[in-house]
A and B are shown apart, each in its own frame.
Chain A
Amino acid sequence: MSDIKIKDNAEQMINSTSDLHHADPHQGAEHHGAPKGYKRWLFSTNHKDIGSLYLWFSLTMFFIGGAMAMIIRAELFQPGLQLVEPNFFNQMTTSHGLIMVFGAVMPAFVGLANWMLPLMIGAPDMALPRMNNWSFWILPFAFSLLLLSLFTEGGGPNFGWTFYPPLSTKYSPDSTAMFVFSVHLMGISSIMGAINVIVTILNMRAPGMTMMKMPMFVWTWLITAFLLIAVMPVLAGAVTMILTDKYFGTSFFDAAGGGDPVLFQHIFWFFGHPEVYIMILPSFGIISAIIPTFARKQLFGYHSMVYATASIAILSFTVWAHHMFTVGLPLAAELFFMYCTMLISVPTGVKIFNWVSTLWRGSITFEVPMLFSLAFIVLFTIGGFSGLMLAITPADFQYHDTYFVVAHFHYVLVTGAVFSIMAAAYYWLPKWTGYMFNERLGKWHFWCSLISVNILFFPMHFLGLAGMPRRIPDYALQFADINKIVSIGGFMFGLSQLLFVAVVIMAVRGGQKAPAKPWEGAEGLEWTVPSPAPYHTFDTPPEVK
């Protein structure tokens, strides 16, 4: 990556692309800027428009899922049942999890991939642009179906985002079939999106853009897409068997017919653990782009980054039962999965080491994307450490299904995945909109988020260690004070995110004009095109030396 020398300097590139743009139209594509009206968005084959659609969709889902989290924290503000029925509380925890995982984090990454991958590898668009639009448009329908199920008689899914049977079979609401089919739709969308990403990266790179020159974000997405294609079908199998167990009298997960509920957990987590890496590998790519820019140094250890990412992907298929230490696995299995889990933190550690080494003696400045990235490194590491604690089988007997686990995965997912998405949004907003965002407001957003997120999630570690179980609307009195603090942190974090919306909308509407390369230390092809990126870029491939 670091040894990419763009053939022409930025200015020349801009001129040449826009010249060729007119000189060399070819049949089939509309080459005269964006089509007008609703068709532009509904029928799009443009990676930038589809990327924006994904990002707006993700932001919407982030607030819907966030509103559910606010309900959860309001109920848990005090011990005892006050605001909502326990069954509704369960629907909130379930939908919150499903929406944040499949509706907010994953589509945000796909949106970033759509926008940035072609720009980073010098391609004019994604490899299969129509399929791209199909994968996007499935999503709003999938989530409408999921949300619709909340309004049916008997309510929506209430068995947790992990939908363990018999909760999701014998004891689940009538609407479970809606949940199953909405997950199927999400899966179809993800698989098509992932195929598109892989094919784009393998087949659409500009001449000279060899694999080992690709930016880390491209590498991490390549491997993420592989994971997606490998495990989304397994999730499809899992929901299908839940469907037949509930409605067609099969006994896959019912011992009375020869099945086993633990079998479900194996299938689910065979999907589920790679899934958590699907939600963090693109973050690693984003951070690996931002840290070098604002440290004004090349990324330390590019090759080791690539190999670490690949080994994380492979190892992620061998650790799934760390979610099942307490179900009564044979001892050999407990040991195997414990050691594999610990092993996977080694490549993760390599990455942290590389980022810190990149910062070492850099001339660092603290623009908003950098602030989020630095926070990511520190706070994601906290999540990694709590993960290591959970990986110790005997210790996990104590921590499992407590708020300690909730603290763990919110550190890796909120201060990890979500913070990296925020960082990416701030980093590339000038490229997308053509305007600099409001730096002051962005900093406010960062500091408010940073403080509140820690008030929200850090005390959860103590709640968990003291034994407070997760997913229960009521709790013992001794947990009252900490829960109050946690809830206050939660409301603060929720409100802080409104600042983000303000920053984005302001940047879309106008402001100070952004140059082609707003960050002086930035490298990569995306900065060689003007800001905002023209509707069609790299019609003629750039040459990468």
Chain B
Amino acid sequence: MPDNNEYAKAPKNYYVPASSAWPLVGAIALFIIAIGAATTVQMIGKEGSNTGIPILFVGIAILLFMLFSWFRNVISESMKGLYNEQLDRSFRMGMLWFIFSEVMFFVALFGVLFYLRNLSIPWLGGEGNNAMTHAVIWADFIPTWPLTITPDGRETQAMPWYGLPLVNTIILITSSVTLHFAHHNLIAKHRAKLVTWLAITVALGITFLFFQVEEYLHAYQELSLRFDSGVYGNTFYMLTGFHGMHVTLGVIMLTVMLLRVINGHFTPGKHFAFEAAAWYWHFVDVVWIILFLFVYIV
């Protein structure tokens, strides 16, 4: 929690920021991304080069530039001491509700996993009052999880939980601990240790992503476990993929924090951005543990 004295010299008034062009630029960037992504997707499997991809990249570039500029703006305002305690609270609440929205996104994806495993696959196998569904449509279908043979006969192999996934679990849990050490050192004003622990955390995050790519390659090349291998592959890639994107975002956030720490930003009482990145990282970690349990082990 912030040390109240940090805000002793901060403006007592409500803070209304100056107007800014970045939100509009952000909206335009999202528009270009949406057009680019839609075009890319619609041209998959069609003749000719995919004109969507360059549009998509232009959009992403503008978005990154916008985020960079917007955050630079906010950081410099914050460093000038323009922000007061109330605004700090607004940022905190905003971040927590944002994480809640992310939680709900994963709730939906896990809901899909549970529904498939516990309801629709057994039903396809004839459970409940579905004997005729089974007999008439796919009489040879055997309901199992992982679903290695789909009703229409596509085959794949299951990804075991030991090996890379286990290593990755250990890496991610460790990274949450190292991040916690970093935070402690921030509060204790041990800059050098803070930098070390934070750098280790970022390195662990990158290692995680590297192993995940390895794992995907292994899955595609040796297990013929693909994104389109029926619902087992679907949920596997959907959950680990979206989780991976969140890890990527988390790594970016932590890297920015590392750079800011090296530049001497943050005080024991005033380091909301650091905390926000840490919350996000812990959230990503928790999602992974649930994912490891239900996608890999059980």
**Residues of A with Cβ closer than 8 Å to B?**
24, 26-30, 35, 39-40, 42-46, 123-125, 127-131, 133-134, 137-138, 140-142, 144-145, 174-175, 177-178, 180-182, 184-185, 188, 191, 194-196, 198-199, 202-204, 229-234, 236-238, 241, 243-244, 247-252, 255-260, 262-263, 266-267, 270, 330, 536, 538-541
Please measure, in the bound complex, the distance between the C-alpha atom of A196 and the C-alpha atom of B93, giving whole angstroms: 9
Q: Which residue of B lies closest to A248 (CB)?
A: B227
Contact, CB under 8 Å: A178 / B90: no
Contact, CB under 8 Å: A42 / B21: yes
Of B39, B97, B112, which contacts A195 at CB under 8 A?
A: B97
Please measure, in the bound complex, the distance between the C-alpha atom of A259 and the C-alpha atom of B113, giving whole angstroms: 10
Residue B288 interfacial (CB < 8 Å): no
Please measure, in the bound complex, the distance between the C-alpha atom of A541 and the C-alpha atom of B116, giving whole angstroms: 53
Residue B199 interfacial (CB < 8 Å): no
Contact, CB under 8 Å: A260 / B120: yes
Contact, CB under 8 Å: A130 / B28: no
In the assembled complex, which residues on chain B have CB atoms less than 8 Å from the CB atom of A249? 227-228
Majority-rule SS of A interface residues: helix
In the assembled complex, which residues on chain A have CB atoms less than 8 Å from the CB atom of B154? 257
> Which 5 residue pairs spanning A and B have beta carbons closest together?
A249-B228, A137-B27, A134-B23, A237-B108, A141-B31
Contact, CB under 8 Å: B27 / A255: no
Please measure, in the bound complex, the distance between the C-alpha atom of A115 and the C-alpha atom of B228, giving whole angstroms: 48
Contact, CB under 8 Å: A236 / B105: yes
Contact, CB under 8 Å: A257 / B102: no
Q: Give the interface segment out of B9-17, B208-216, B279-287.
A: B9-17
Of B19, B82, B227, which contacts A35 at CB under 8 A?
A: B19
Of B19, B31, B93, B107, which contacts A43 at CB under 8 A?
A: B19
Contact, CB under 8 Å: A28 / B77: yes
Please measure, in the bound complex, the distance between the C-alpha atom of A201 and the C-alpha atom of B38, giving whole angstroms: 37
Residue B89 interfacial (CB < 8 Å): yes
Contact, CB under 8 Å: A39 / B90: no
Please measure, in the bound complex, the distance between the C-alpha atom of A7 and the C-alpha atom of B120, giving whole angstroms: 62
How many pairs of residues, A versus B, come closer than 8 Å at their CB atoms? Answer: 239
Contact, CB under 8 Å: B90 / A247: no
Q: Which residue of B lies closest to A43 (CB)?
A: B19
Please measure, in the bound complex, the distance between the C-alpha atom of A540 and the C-alpha atom of B12, giving whole angstroms: 9
Majority-rule SS of B interface residues: helix
Contact, CB under 8 Å: A229 / B104: yes
Residue B48 interfacial (CB < 8 Å): no
Contact, CB under 8 Å: A130 / B70: yes
Interchain residue pairs with CB less than 8 A apart (16): A28-B15, A28-B17, A128-B90, A130-B22, A130-B70, A141-B27, A142-B34, A188-B30, A230-B101, A230-B104, A233-B108, A241-B112, A248-B227, A250-B238, A257-B228, A266-B115
Contact, CB under 8 Å: A259 / B234: yes
Contact, CB under 8 Å: A184 / B34: yes
Q: Which residues 139-169 in B have Cβ within 8 Å of A in the complex?
A: 147, 150-152, 154
Contact, CB under 8 Å: B30 / A185: yes
In the assembled complex, which residues on chain B have CB atoms less than 8 Å from the CB atom of A181? 33-35, 37-38
Residue B256 interfacial (CB < 8 Å): no
Of A43, A258, A262, which contacts B231 at CB under 8 A?
A: A258
Contact, CB under 8 Å: A124 / B14: yes
Residue B26 interfacial (CB < 8 Å): yes
Residue B137 interfacial (CB < 8 Å): yes
Contact, CB under 8 Å: A29 / B18: yes
Q: Report if A258-B24 is in contact (Cβ < 8 Å); known contacts: A127-B90, A130-B70, A144-B31.
A: no
In the assembled complex, which residues on chain A have CB atoms less than 8 Å from the CB atom of B107? 233-234
Please measure, in the bound complex, the distance between the C-alpha atom of A260 and the C-alpha atom of B16, giving whole angstroms: 50
Q: Which residues 57-103 in B have Cβ within 8 Å of A in the complex?
A: 70, 77, 82, 86, 89-91, 93-94, 97-98, 100-102
Contact, CB under 8 Å: A250 / B89: no
Interface centre among A124, A248, A251 (most CB of B within 10 A): A251
Q: Report if A44-B116 is in contact (Cβ < 8 Å); known contacts: A195-B94, A233-B101, A539-B13.
A: no
Q: Report if A130-B34 is in contact (Cβ < 8 Å); known contacts: A251-B231, A252-B234.
A: no
Please measure, in the bound complex, the distance between the C-alpha atom of A330 and the C-alpha atom of B163, giving whole angstroms: 41
Contact, CB under 8 Å: B89 / A203: yes
Contact, CB under 8 Å: B128 / A330: yes
Contact, CB under 8 Å: B120 / A178: no
Nearest Cβ on chain B to A178's Cβ, whole angstroms: 4
Please measure, in the bound complex, the distance between the C-alpha atom of A330 and the C-alpha atom of B18, giving whole angstroms: 57
Contact, CB under 8 Å: A243 / B41: yes
Of A125, A182, A238, which contacts B34 at CB under 8 A?
A: A182
Residue B269 interfacial (CB < 8 Å): no
Contact, CB under 8 Å: B228 / A185: no
Contact, CB under 8 Å: B11 / A43: no
Residue B121 interfacial (CB < 8 Å): yes
Of A125, A140, A194, A243, which contacts B14 at CB under 8 A?
A: A125
In the assembled complex, which residues on chain A have CB atoms less than 8 Å from the CB atom of B98? 191, 195
Q: Report if A199-B90 is in contact (Cβ < 8 Å); known contacts: A247-B44, A259-B120.
A: yes
Please measure, in the bound complex, the distance between the C-alpha atom of A241 and the C-alpha atom of B241, giving whole angstroms: 13
Q: Report if A231-B231 is in contact (Cβ < 8 Å); known contacts: A129-B16, A258-B120, A258-B151.
A: no
Please measure, in the bound complex, the distance between the C-alpha atom of A198 and the C-alpha atom of B101, giving whole angstroms: 13
